[in-house]
Amino acid sequence: MAITLEELQLATRNHGLPLEALRYPVTPVGLHYLLTHFDVPVVPDGWRLRVGGQVKRELTLSLHDLRARPPTTSVVTMECAGNGRAHLDPRPVSQPWRSEAVGTGEWTGVPLRSLLVEAGVSQRAEEVLFSGSDRGVDGGVEQAYERSLPLDEAFREDVLLAYDLNGAPLPPQHGAPLRLVVPGWYGMTNVKWLERITVLERPFDGYQQTRAYRLRRDEDDEGIPLTRIRPRALMAPPGIPDFLSRHRIVDAGPCPLEGRAWSGLAPVAAVEVSVDGGAVWTAAEVEPQLGPWAWAGWRFVWEAAPGDYELLCRARDEAGNEQPLVPEWNVGGYANNAVQRVPVTVRA
Amino acid sequence: MAITLEELQLATRNHGLPLEALRYPVTPVGLHYLLTHFDVPVVPDGWRLRVGGQVKRELTLSLHDLRARPPTTSVVTMECAGNGRAHLDPRPVSQPWRSEAVGTGEWTGVPLRSLLVEAGVSQRAEEVLFSGSDRGVDGGVEQAYERSLPLDEAFREDVLLAYDLNGAPLPPQHGAPLRLVVPGWYGMTNVKWLERITVLERPFDGYQQTRAYRLRRDEDDEGIPLTRIRPRALMAPPGIPDFLSRHRIVDAGPCPLEGRAWSGLAPVAAVEVSVDGGAVWTAAEVEPQLGPWAWAGWRFVWEAAPGDYELLCRARDEAGNEQPLVPEWNVGGYANNAVQRVPVTVRA
């Protein structure tokens, strides 16, 4: 199914990780995937974070106030819930990602938990709502971008309000001056351009929670909310590319295949590689993860003989989640973690 | 004409400037447009720049050697020669840019001229060739990415070998550790991941010079080489967007329209705006350029009344070059600087 001009408009704005950039343990700024729902907003002078709703004490904090608190840094792999959408058939019309909507950042900020404790969350609280300053129309509904978290997730020690990425202030496109980072959850959770945190007595029913970002079999299905990232392994395509087709050419001989693997559900347990289109799978060597929520490097040396091949890789996590060989279709085109397939030609 | 999967592969790797980022005088890293012909290469330890060919003294320079020389900084607007390609009909199949393949960087480095003087260029020299370490296949030809400059352009005082972008070392995707910056010329000129400079006695006949990047009427036309950037004005689309269609919604009342304009042929002379699809044009207020080779900000306050509109803007430079209203087709889909058209709905 050919791509529409509407999808192209999204694809030229948003961008994935060029897969050769899997070689960096932490993704350099500008190579990390990026999905901007509306526009990158103008942040007003005198920006403040407001914490309110069902709390004992409302908080109003400047960036200076936040930076004055003890900082936490963590390396987190983030992936768009729509990654893999363009491989579905029929293809749900939205940002047409292939497999590249991923990146790993070193995020520094303040634990969300510390602010919630300071504000004093009500006994009746159920969720915490995060509101960004980016605004637009989605599915016919005008809205600021907003998403909520259940209380137990919001109180995790590793959930951050981040003001730095890779040791420098957040760039505008990653949510300056402050964003949420919820390790292990798909990208839509990590609200950018944060301006308000609201403790709620009942579940948030906004568009991005109840209509978008749900796994639905058909239009009548209420669906299941997307939360944590399914396992995936990706390979940096070996050899050299053709500019237009991106088809790869590899020299015969030992060819190191390298990439990264991650899961938001459990640590990475194994990565396997197939060089014959999926008939035979062999275990790759897997490096330790860079942190509990960061991807793991993997490596496999392929003895490449002349011919045409389809290279595959797949990850399994310690909870037993595995990547499917064939995509599982759903209305929104979410969470398609079917294995990557890399066609290559080996020359003598 | 619908977009092909090959074009989509390019569009998810490469990316444009999200047009709201026209608000920044200097484009933050990660928002500047980016076209990578092959892969972002791995730069070897012990990288050196080699200057050779028709010179009296060959030079071999480390990054440390280059940084020890007196630095020059300049703010330069860079645009891809393929910008506007996706608006052509039939659409030439390559990176499918709409209008967003532009950005402005603050580049710091060493004037190329100083190295050419030091090496001592032969009397017989005609061109200078720049070779990057990125490698692949293009148009059936395996190659490193290489482009040449005529000798008079290479000796301009404002041509840089840049090692910093926006005050920090070049990020990998912009050519680390060193790239060429030729102010005023289209993007393909500014060879990234530079490893060799070769002074030539005769014109370079490589693929990127004699086959790609030429304005050709048809396949039999030898064509004219692309050099300097044609004038263009772009508008940061006003109001708020619809996520999928990117259609804009604007509130009635005074609506500031803002953007940037540039030309590589001469300074920007004027920017005009039309709010009625091109029937009536009114001059916008134009700010001084940030430097001789940088874009100029412009501004126009539109009294928006409820209804549907098509907003247009166009630039003229001091050499009298103007943007056409209708695209001019060519085989490669280059240099299409037809005016931008922004549909908006004004609500009461």
Question: How much is the average pLDDT of B85-114?
Answer: 95
Asked if B246 lies within 8 A of A9 by C-beta distance, the reply is: yes
Place of tokens 């052509």: B88
- Tokens read off for A147: 């998403």
Give me the DSSP letters along B176-201.
TT-EEE-TTB-GGGS-SSEEEEEEES
DSSP alpha helix (H) spans, chain A = 5-13, 63-67, 112-119, 151-154, 207-210
Inter-chain touch B137–A28, beta carbons under 8 Å = no
CATH 3.90.420.10 intervals, chain B: 5-225
Residue-level pLDDT at B15: 92
CB contact under 8 A, A244 and B138: yes
- In this complex, the residue of A5, A16, A20 whose CB is nearest that of residue B12 is A16
Residue B1: predicted pLDDT: 64
Q: Which of B2, B14, B37 lies nearest to residue A2, judging by beta carbons?
A: B2
Instruction: Please check the confidence at residue A146 and state whether its pLDDT lies above 80.
Output: yes
Q: Domain B232-347, what architecture? A: Sandwich (2.60)
B31 vs A173: CB contact, 8 Å cut-off?
yes
* C-alpha B258, offset from chain centre: 20
**What is the average pLDDT value for chain A, to the nearest integer?**
97
Q: Output the pLDDT for position B188.
A: 98
Please say if the pLDDT value at position A4 is more than 90. Answer: no
Task: Return the residue of B nearest to A236 by Cα.
Answer: B39
Whether the model clears a pTM of 0.80, i.e. scores above it, the answer is yes
**Which DSSP state fits B26?**
S
Return the pLDDT at A63.
Answer: 98
Q: What single string gives the DSSP state of each residue in A8-65?
A: HHHHHHSB---GGGGGSSSPPTTTS-B--SS-PPPPPTT--EEEEESBSS-EEE-HHH
Candidates B6, B12, B85: best to mutate against A (most CBs of A within 10 A) is: B12
Is A6's CB within 8 Å of B244's CB? yes
Cα A38 from chain centre: 17
What the block records as the tokens of A8 is: 């192209």
Is the pLDDT confidence value at A2 over 80?
A: no
Which DSSP state fits A114? Answer: H
Res A1: pLDDT = 64
Interface probe for A, chosen from B5, B13, B38 (most Cβ of A below 10 Å), is B13
Pair A174, A165: CB distance under 8 Å? yes
Spatial distance between the Cα atoms of B172 and B178, rounded to a whole number of angstroms:
10
> Among residues A328, A313, A142, A88, which one has the least CA distance to residue A217?
A328
Asked whether the beta carbons of residue A23 and residue B42 sit closer than 8 angstroms, the reply is yes
Q: What is the ipTM of this complex?
A: 0.95
Q: How many CB pairs under 8 A join A and B?
A: 177
- Closest CA in chain A for residue B83: A12
- Residue in A189, A180, A176, A188 with CA at minimum distance from that of residue A97: A188
User: Do A171 and B29 lie within an 8 Å CB cutoff?
Assistant: yes
Phi and psi, residue A87, nearest 5°:
-90, -5
pLDDT (average), residues B97-120: 97
The pLDDT tens digits of the residues spanning A261-275 come to 999 999 999 999 999
Nearest chain B Cα distance for residue A242, angstroms: 4
CB A21 within 8 A of CB A169: no
| Whether pLDDT at B259 is above 80 | yes
Of the pLDDT bands very low, low, confident and very high (cuts 50, 70, 90), residue B231 is very high
- Asked whether the beta carbons of residue B244 and residue A94 sit closer than 8 angstroms, the reply is yes
Asked whether the bond before B90 is cis by omega within 30 degrees of 0, the reply is: yes
Chain B residues closer than 8 Å to A32 by CB: 30
- Residues of CATH 2.60.40.650 domain(s) within chain A? 232-347
Asked if A96 and B8 come within 8 Å (Cβ–Cβ), the reply is yes
Taken in order A114, A119, A120, A126, is the CA torsion positive or negative? negative
Number of residues in chain A: 348
Task: Please say if the pLDDT value at position B333 is more than 70.
Answer: yes
Place of tokens 């579905």: A88
The pLDDT > 90 percentage for chain B reads 95
What CATH number should be reported for the domain whose range is A5-225? 3.90.420.10
Q: Is 90 exceeded by the pLDDT of residue B223?
A: yes
Residues near B83 by beta carbon (within 8 Å), at least 6 away in sequence: B33, B97, B99, B100, B101, B102, B232, B336, B337
